[in-house]
């Protein structure tokens, strides 16, 4: 049951803004679905979730955040789905001193740490961790030259910066770099430039279904090199839209994407399978995506922090929100669906290399690459 505003002070109000419509809907819908699976009580306190849709729009994300804080008096904000939206929300939560857990990927959401970002945490793996996974895989496969095409926004730019670093470390030469918009209908000009540069491999830095567009173009132009995507495509909608064009693609992902294929002794197998079982019970077999799992991990972090904060203050007060922020920062060895969280004052993500695996798209499904 998703509650509305006006609850008693004894309750904990959780504000959520996700991109349930717009270009990032294939990421935001499973996140919204996951909120409904989160605990209704924590440490004896009733939890009210106020869930809003920001339609993949930065202005709406900020409006939602301010409304949740001022009208709904939330103790914590979960969201949003995309990097641009999450970056835009930071000022609002920092001003009000309300902790926020983002489900978006860019390291810039939490780095460099400053007075504003000390209120902000996130659950998806940083781009540098995933960039290193891709660059290592490329180098091991004998790739020397790489083409890059990414979104013309904070997601694409963040990826280009981090992948450039990883490519340098692995001796890879980026020979072409292109950008496109999430809602573009065609990327023919960019694809022609990439193919013309004849790279051994191409990395597409997009998320959700719009990331399939350049790959479809590359296949149509007969590109025969290796194609890599980011963890931003790890949902079934991408497989459906990409179809045969995305066969053979490599990407890094959270272990939850291939949890059933992981060896029994993998540190994430149990916690990842717990989420999958719960989500599929509500939405059917094969319905899980890594994006919903980022929301699940946000819920696990919140659930771990609430009992600690309750020892210091009552919900609905500035003291409780500050205690919640402090408690999030102290979380240690918490197993989630994507990784094991070890937060600190300087690290508001807290994931290590256990939070990633390499995956290949084979036969229209995700195949774990040991």
Distances (CA, A) of 76 to 35, 65, 161, 205: 14, 10, 31, 30
- CA torsion sign, 77 to 253 to 24 to 112? positive
**Residue 235: per-residue pLDDT:** 87
The pLDDT of residue 269: 96
Per-residue b/e over 327-347, b at no fewer than 16 CB within 10 Å? bbbebeebbbbbbbbebeeeb
Strands (E), the chain: 12-18, 41-42, 45-53, 76-79, 100-102, 120-122, 145-151, 173-180, 201-205, 226-229, 250-253, 334-335, 340-341, 357-362, 365-369
Helix (H) or strand (E) holding 280: helix 269-283
* Whether the Cβ atoms of residue 333 and residue 344 lie closer than 8 Å to each other: no
Q: Would you state the pLDDT for residue 9?
A: 52
Contact (CB, 8 A) for 332 and 343: yes
Is residue 201 helix, strand or coil?
strand
The closest alpha carbon to 288, from 370, 365, 184, 214, belongs to 365
Q: pTM, whole model, 2 decimals?
A: 0.89
- Work out whether strand 45-53 and strand 41-42 pair parallel, antiparallel, or are unpaired: antiparallel
Tens of each residue's pLDDT in the chain, 370 residues: 444 444 445 799 999 999 999 999 999 999 999 999 999 999 999 999 999 999 999 999 999 999 999 999 999 999 999 999 999 999 999 999 999 999 998 899 999 999 999 999 999 999 899 999 999 999 999 999 999 999 999 999 999 999 999 999 999 999 999 999 999 999 999 999 999 999 999 999 999 999 999 999 999 999 999 999 999 999 888 999 999 999 999 999 999 999 999 999 999 999 999 999 999 999 999 899 899 999 999 999 999 999 999 999 999 999 999 999 999 999 999 999 999 999 999 999 999 989 999 999 999 999 999 9
Around Cβ 248, how many Cβ atoms within 10 Å? 11
- Rounded to 5 degrees, what are φ and ψ at 176? -155, 140
Q: What is the pLDDT, as a whole number, of residue 186? A: 96
For 238, phi and psi rounded to 5 degrees? -65, -45
**What pLDDT, on a 0 to 100 scale, did the predictor assign at position 1?**
41
Confidence (pLDDT) at 257: 95
Q: What is the C-alpha end-to-end distance of the chain, expressed in Å?
A: 40
Would you tell me how many other CB atoms lie within 10 Å of the CB of residue 362?
A: 12
């Amino acid at each position: 049951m998703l509650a509305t505003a006006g609850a008693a002070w004894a309750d904990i109000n959780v504000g959520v803004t996700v991109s349930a419509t717009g270009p990032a809907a294939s990421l935001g819908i499973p996140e919204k679905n996951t909120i409904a699976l989160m605990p209704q009580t924590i440490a004896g306190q009733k939890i009210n979730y106020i869930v809003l849709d920001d339609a993949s729009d930065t202005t709406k994300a900020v409006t939602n955040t301010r409304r949740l804080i001022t009208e709904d008096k939330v103790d914590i904000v979960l969201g949003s789905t995309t990097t641009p939206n999450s970056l835009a929300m930071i000022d609002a939560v920092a001003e009000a001193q309300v902790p926020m857990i983002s489900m978006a990927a860019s390291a810039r959401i939490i780095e460099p740490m400053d007075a504003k970002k000390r209120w902000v945490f996130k659950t998806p793996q940083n781009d540098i961790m995933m960039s290193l996974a891709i660059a290592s895989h490329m180098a091991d496969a004998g790739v020397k030259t790489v083409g890059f095409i990414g979104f013309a926004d904070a997601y694409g730019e963040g990826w280009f910066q981090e992948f450039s670093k990883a490519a340098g470390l692995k001796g890879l030469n980026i020979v072409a770099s292109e950008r496109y918009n999430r809602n573009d209908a065609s990327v023919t000009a960019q694809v022609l430039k990439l193919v013309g540069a004849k790279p051994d491999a191409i990395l597409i830095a997009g998320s959700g279904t719009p990331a399939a567009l350049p790959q479809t173009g590359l296949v149509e132009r007969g590109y025969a090199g290796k194609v890599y995507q980011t963890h931003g495509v790890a949902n079934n909608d991408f497989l459906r839209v990409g179809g045969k064009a995305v066969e053979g693609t490599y990407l890094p992902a959270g272990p939850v994407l291939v949890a059933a294929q992981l060896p029994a002794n993998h540190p994430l197998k149990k916690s990842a399978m717990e989420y999958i079982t719960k989500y599929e019970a509500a939405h059917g077999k094969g319905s899980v995506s890594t994006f919903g799992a980022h929301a699940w991990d946000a819920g696990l972090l919140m659930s771990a922090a609430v009992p600690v904060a309750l020892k210091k203050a009552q919900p609905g007060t500035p003291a409780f929100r500050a205690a919640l922020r402090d408690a999030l920062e102290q979380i240690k060895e918490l197993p989630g669906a994507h990784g094991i969280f070890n937060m600190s004052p300087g690290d508001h993500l807290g994931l290590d290399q256990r939070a990633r695996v390499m995956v290949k798209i084979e036969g229209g499904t995700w195949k774990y690459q040991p």
